[in-house]
Amino acid sequence: MHAKGARIDELPALWDGFMRLVRPGLDLSAFGANVMNLPPDYATKSHDESPSGQEELYVCLAGSGTVLLDDDGTELPLDAEQLAAVGPGVARTLRSGSDGLRVLIIGGVPGQAYSPQEWSSHGE
């Protein structure tokens, strides 16, 4: 058994700190985890996880926002009381509110051992 802690801002970073790599920062191997720091009133590019097969859980750590499901316009709120899960084939966009959004994203492929994507293994 191992145990390790870290401040979010000290985890390996991508894109000038926009993304913090939790999995390599804490030596996790069972699932993927990252923290995204979205500035106020920001929207990410739409994406789905069809190529990886991952389902993702979104947990708000600070601020607020939504997960917009691009196919039908459904908005899943993210705040201190609400979280969201999205399957691999569902296109989604993350949007922050006026106070920005820090969101923990946890992913894995149902029924399979975790296999990290290359981009998520090293910071800048």
pLDDT number for residue 1: 47
Determine the Cα angle at 64 with ends 27 and 21, to 5°. Answer: 15
Q: Please give the single-letter amino acid code of residue 75.
A: E
- The domains located in the chain, with CATH, are 10-109 (2.60.120.10)
Q: In this predicted model, what pLDDT tens digit does every residue of 92-113 receive, in sequence order?
A: 999 999 999 999 999 999 888 7
Average pLDDT, the chain: 91
pLDDT at residue 113 in the model: 76
- More confident site: 56 or 28: 56
The rounded distance, in Å, linking the Cα atoms of 10 and 7 is 5
Q: Using the predicted structure, report yes or no on whether residue 118 has a pLDDT greater than 50.
A: yes
